[in-house]
Amino acid sequence: MTSTTEAAQTPPESNSFQVDLRGLVDLLSHHLYSSPRVYVRELLQNAVDAVTARRATDPGCPDRIRLSAEAGRVSIEDSGIGLTADEVHTLLATIGRSSKRGGEHGLESARREFLGQFGIGLLACFVVAREIRVVTRSARTPGAPPVEWLARDDGSYTVRTLPDEARPAPGTTVFLEPRPGSGEWLAPARVEELARDFGSLLPYDIVFADGGGAERPVTDRPAVWDREHPTPSARREALAGHCAALFGFTPLDTIDFDLPVAGVRGVAYVLPDPASPAHRGGHRAYLKGMLLTDRADNLLPEWAFFVRAVVDTDALRPTASRESLYDDETLDAVREALGAAVRRWLAELAAGDPQRLAAFLSVHHLGVKSLARHDPELFGLMLPWLPFETSDGRLGLEEFAAAHGEIHFTRTVEEFRQIAPIAAAHGLGVVNAGYTYDADLLALLPTVRPAVKVTELDAGAVTERLDPVPTEAELALAAFLATARTRLDAEGCDVVLRAFQPVAVPALYLDDRQARHERDRSAAESNADSLWSDILGSLRGSAPRARLVLNHNNPLIRRIAALPDPELTATAVESLYGQALLMSQRPLRPADSTLLNRAFLGLLEWATHSAAGDSAQEGR
Ligand SMILES: Nc1ncnc2c1ncn2[C@@H]1O[C@H](COP(=O)(O)OP(=O)(O)OP(=O)(O)O)[C@@H](O)[C@H]1O
């Protein structure tokens, strides 16, 4: 008896993957790319690579590439390396096979010399063509006859040799037979526009013919940033025109990129209007002169959202769709190098052209602040120029620190609005750190200017600055203050009397982070079940309480303090507390709303009663 295991054992059978050609062609032509437009790029790319390959062995060979669109048909002819019948079988008809990585240095040399590398590009043409015909003659094997390869989108093809006169000179012509419904992609104007968009910087002269007999150049080299200009201002003008044509705006300034180590040349145009830091502008990336994408978001660091860049590089790799950059270490390095170039430009402006820097910062200070957070050196450099909202107006921190020695800051815009005028009236320098990046930068300030002291503004610091009231005046108001303290104790708020500016402000509600925390804790305690309430209660401690600072300079306060009726005094104190709380723009707790309601109705009650009393008296 044989065991089950033995019975199941059969010799391993060697198999190959089965490929459904129709499915593969469909996948590569219709689903890899975002738009049919890429077929023009693939045609140009193969033609350019073919000329590059021929020039490697025959540097003086013709380098003609002619793209034409006529009567709904597109063709492209090159004077490149061409193919023999055998090569047609192995290269054109084998999906994934490319001649461009077969050399002794393999893939690396392909990436250095050629645009293509994957062996799938030609199939992209099936997105607009139902049939691709290639007529080619090898330059490497002069005796070989011309060959015709005819491929259909069902994955079938035929190969035949042609008589000598069918193609006397080496090179290749690719003809596309349109697929029904794709006429718009093969219309002459469209083809010419796409060829210019993709191919204007390609290294050989490419012409376009629309069938009317005229030929127009597709290529327009050298790139605008590499052209000779009679004067720097002529160059600036040319670049501004390029930017306007490309991106639709006139740049505030232009930053040159010339980074031979990173294999990158190009420019970055500074946006004339503020841009959202969350918006990463689409940069235009060319790979060896071929446009790869106009949405290369990851080409520059995130903080450089105030520029749109156009670069040509031979260092980066495309993804298989050739529509974006392969996110690898090289891209990281290029991104860093481009970021460093933008920083250098800023530093040079700071050192040599403060006026231009000021114009730039008036639009893009947010971007620079975002960058400076991670770059103390740059922060130090930009410090005199970066604007902050302060109790002395919009100022640079350096100037502000020189006037105050110590810088106080508030964490929120509301706090700043409420306290800054009062603090300023009493000689305290306050910066609003409620805006994006400002708190981070203030925290960084002592690193770049060690002499400057930066502290968060707390209720204690403000109260300390306000003038104390003479003892006799305070004693005279002792009864009133006692009523007020008792009334507001339940709200977790202390009452103090000070004389401060502006006179028109009757009361100031001050708390700091700890006091706010305590407020939240006690609110949570009153809402919690008994276990939590006990735990939260045990946390109650020495946290500073919020305080209501009454202004002895304010006539209303003096009148309230002199009210004979304790009931009315309590209502008035609640009203002052409520008003100050509203002015501080803090969110109201339910208890605060109840208090405000009560105080408001109490005042109405009192006002209508006394009015009724008056009229009753008048009636007598
Ligand atoms: N115009 C041409 N002249 C000579 N050979 C060509 C031409 N077009 C294509 N070939 C040959 O056919 C092969 C396959 O071309 P295909 O466009 O599919 O891929 P590729 O260019 O090698 O790589 P990629 O998929 O990255 O474009 C090429 O490697 C090349 O050897």
pLDDT, tens digit, 9 for 90 and up, residues 307-356: 999 999 988 888 877 788 888 888 999 999 999 999 899 889 988 998 99
* Spatial separation of the C-alpha atoms in residues 362 and 384, rounded to whole Å: 13
pLDDT, position 238: 96
CATH number for the domain that contains residue 423: 3.40.50
- Going by their DSSP bridges, the two strands 387-390 and 307-313 should be labelled as unpaired
Of 74, 86, 98, the one to substitute when testing ligand 1's pocket (max ligand atoms within 8 A of C-beta) is 98
172 assigned to a ligand binding site: yes
**Tokens, residue 527:** 């809402």
CATH number for the domain that contains residue 518: 1.20.120.790
* Same-domain pairing of 25 and 121: yes
**Tokens, residue 519:** 């407020």
Whether the per-residue pLDDT at 448 is higher than 60: the answer is: yes
* Same-domain pairing of 302 and 400: no
Q: Is 374 among the domain residues?
A: no
pTM: 0.74
* Same-domain pairing of 514 and 606: yes
* CB 486, CB 567: distance < 8 Å: no
Q: Is 484 among the domain residues?
A: yes
Mean pLDDT, rounded, for 566-582:
93
What's the structural domain count of the chain?
4
* Same-domain pairing of 410 and 490: no
HEC string of 243-300 equals HHHHHCCCCCEEEEEEEHHHCEEEEEEECCCCCCCCCCCCCEEEECCEEEECCCHHHC
pLDDT, position 105: 46
Q: Output the CA 186–ligand 1 centroid distance in Å.
A: 21
Q: Output the CA 72–ligand 1 centroid distance in Å.
A: 24
Per-residue pLDDT tens for 514-536?
Answer: 666 666 666 666 666 665 556 54
If pLDDT is split at 50, 70 and 90, which confidence band does 291 have? very high
- Going by their DSSP bridges, the two strands 493-499 and 467-468 should be labelled as antiparallel
* Same-domain pairing of 211 and 256: no
Burial of 40 (0-12, 13-18, 19+ CB in 10 A): buried
- Going by their DSSP bridges, the two strands 171-178 and 453-456 should be labelled as unpaired
**Size (the chain), residues:** 620
Mean pLDDT, rounded, for 404-411:
90
Whether the per-residue pLDDT at 542 is higher than 70: the answer is: no
pLDDT, position 440: 94
Mean pLDDT, rounded, for 157-171:
94
Whether the per-residue pLDDT at 7 is higher than 60: the answer is: no
Q: Output the CA 16–ligand 1 centroid distance in Å.
A: 25
Binding site membership of 264 for ligand 1 (Cβ less than 6 Å): no
- Residue of 412, 392, 411, 417 lying closest to 402 (CA atoms): 392
Per-residue pLDDT tens for 496-506?
Answer: 999 998 899 99
- Residue of 16, 20, 17, 26 lying closest to 120 (CA atoms): 26
pLDDT, position 534: 61
Give the type of residue at 582: L
Strands (E), 480-536: 493-499, 507-510
Cis peptide before 59 (omega within 30 of 0): no
The three-class DSSP label of residue 66 is strand
Q: Is 206 among the domain residues?
A: yes
Whether the per-residue pLDDT at 389 is higher than 60: the answer is: yes
What domain range is 417 assigned to?
A: 387-457
Name the range with the highest mean pLDDT among 28-37, 462-471, 574-583. 574-583
Per-residue pLDDT tens for 58-84?
Answer: 999 999 999 999 988 999 999 999 999
- Residue of 486, 513, 514, 502 lying closest to 573 (CA atoms): 486
Who has greater pLDDT, 22 or 283? 283
* Same-domain pairing of 213 and 345: no
Mean pLDDT, rounded, for 282-286:
94
Binding site membership of 78 for ligand 1 (Cβ less than 6 Å): yes
Whether the per-residue pLDDT at 366 is higher than 90: the answer is: no
* Spatial separation of the C-alpha atoms in residues 538 and 588, rounded to whole Å: 24
* Same-domain pairing of 511 and 547: yes
Whether the per-residue pLDDT at 4 is higher than 90: the answer is: no
* Same-domain pairing of 233 and 180: no
The three-class DSSP label of residue 340 is helix
* Same-domain pairing of 519 and 593: yes
* Same-domain pairing of 446 and 531: no
pLDDT, position 344: 92
42 assigned to a ligand binding site: yes
* Same-domain pairing of 59 and 195: yes
Residue with tokens 């490319």: 98
**Segment 603-610 long-range contacts (CB within 8 Å, at least 24 positions apart):** 603/571, 603/572, 603/575, 606/568, 606/571
pLDDT, position 11: 75
ipTM of the complex: 0.97
Whether the per-residue pLDDT at 297 is higher than 80: the answer is: yes
pLDDT, position 2: 46
pLDDT, position 267: 98
Nearest residue by C-alpha to atom 7 in ligand 1: 46
Domain boundary (217, 239, 259) is at 217
Who has greater pLDDT, 619 or 263? 263
* Same-domain pairing of 556 and 532: yes
**Segment 50-53 long-range contacts (CB within 8 Å, at least 24 positions apart):** 50/78, 50/80, 50/81, 50/82, 50/171, 50/172, 51/78, 51/79, 51/80, 51/81, 51/204, 52/80, 52/113, 52/114, 52/203, 53/80, 53/81, 53/99, 53/100, 53/114
Ramachandran quadrant class, 373 (left: phi over 0; alpha: psi -120 to 50; beta: rest): alpha
Domain boundary (427, 457, 487) is at 457
Q: What is the DSSP letter of 506?
A: -
- Residue of 133, 120, 135, 122 lying closest to 177 (CA atoms): 133
pLDDT, position 583: 85
Binding site membership of 170 for ligand 1 (Cβ less than 6 Å): no
pLDDT, position 25: 72
Binding site membership of 173 for ligand 1 (Cβ less than 6 Å): no
Average confidence score pLDDT of the chain: 87
Q: Is 375 among the domain residues?
A: no
Whether the per-residue pLDDT at 485 is higher than 60: the answer is: yes
Neighbours of 446 (CB within 10 A): 13
pLDDT, position 1: 45
Domain boundary (217, 244, 275) is at 217
Whether the per-residue pLDDT at 438 is higher than 70: the answer is: yes
